Chains A and B, each alone.
Chain A
């Protein structure tokens, strides 16, 4: 069995706005503060340069709306 962190993908989060409910969990738990809620209260990769591709947003999204691309 491979550990989920071992096969870490390197991409940036892709956010499906139709599935996002704007709870803000990804914004709060992002270790690099790369995400923010936009004016429609949907998650948005506001600072792509800060993102390190750790995937914590992907694992914590309760709406299956985030995937590392």
Chain B
């Protein structure tokens, strides 16, 4: 491990908990670099996660208070912790299945109440930990263990959902855009109120091998090519936008 990030991990951690080439590992790296850039004190932070691969990003690795909670209830636990101790900088890091499917209502109501939380949703477009079932965020046509002929339903647009619920800061970046993503995480940590960053991640083990992205690098290249910025999207027709994901800041928190 790099020495500059050593102080942010617990001494007993001997490797990241992810499969080789997992996008969540890149996100873990970038979250720590954002915290390092802001010089935040880990003993004044609380990391809350639910169940799933992404929930292993903070817990039990980060050298701070971590809460590994019930499936889908990460935002609810974080709300309670924040009410009890408003001085804690509270960050929820969890996956798309946890935050958007089983915990969908907690997410939109926390955004509606504008609770001072930072929510990072690691969206790998599949239920990775449970065996690669289709998720509410899987793209149309994705082959999963429960949609062997391809997913027929359109995926959730999480940013629009949280924006509609009234969150002041909403952004979406992929792990292939590390510099922009670090800036977005830093912004989400400094803006007061409910801040939401959707991070497009990869699952080479469950998603990649079923959809013929045979290596982690193939998956990342696919993700990189499918991401376009808001400015680029404005010049494209709806047909050209098929299969593309728009990244950027959708609400800048008045900054």
Binding site for B on A (CB under 8 A): 1-5, 14, 16, 18-19, 21-25, 27-29, 56, 58-67
In the complex, which of the residues A3, A19, A21, A66 has the most CB atoms of chain B within 10 Å of its own CB atom? A21
Instruction: For the complex, give the distance between the alpha carbons of A64 and B32 in Å.
Output: 10
Chain B residues within an 8 Å CB radius of A16: 1-2
Query: Are A62's CB and B2's CB within 8 A?
Result: no
| Contacting residues of chain B (1-47) with chain A, CB-CB under 8 angstroms | 1-5, 9, 14-16, 18, 20-26, 28-30, 32-33, 37-38
Query: Are B216's CB and A2's CB within 8 A?
Result: no
Instruction: Contacts A23-B21, A25-B21, A25-B220 given; indicate if A59 touches B2 (C-beta within 8 A).
Output: no
Instruction: Contacts A4-B37, A4-B179, A4-B182 given; indicate if A63 touches B217 (C-beta within 8 A).
Output: no
Instruction: Contacts A23-B21, A25-B216, A59-B30 given; indicate if A3 touches B183 (C-beta within 8 A).
Output: yes
Chain A residues within an 8 Å CB radius of B71: none
Query: Are A23's CB and B16's CB within 8 A?
Result: no
* B146 within 8 Å of A (CB atoms): no
Instruction: For the complex, give the distance between the alpha carbons of A56 and B33 in Å.
Output: 13
| Contacting residues of chain B (171-212) with chain A, CB-CB under 8 angstroms | 175, 178-179, 182-183, 186, 190, 204
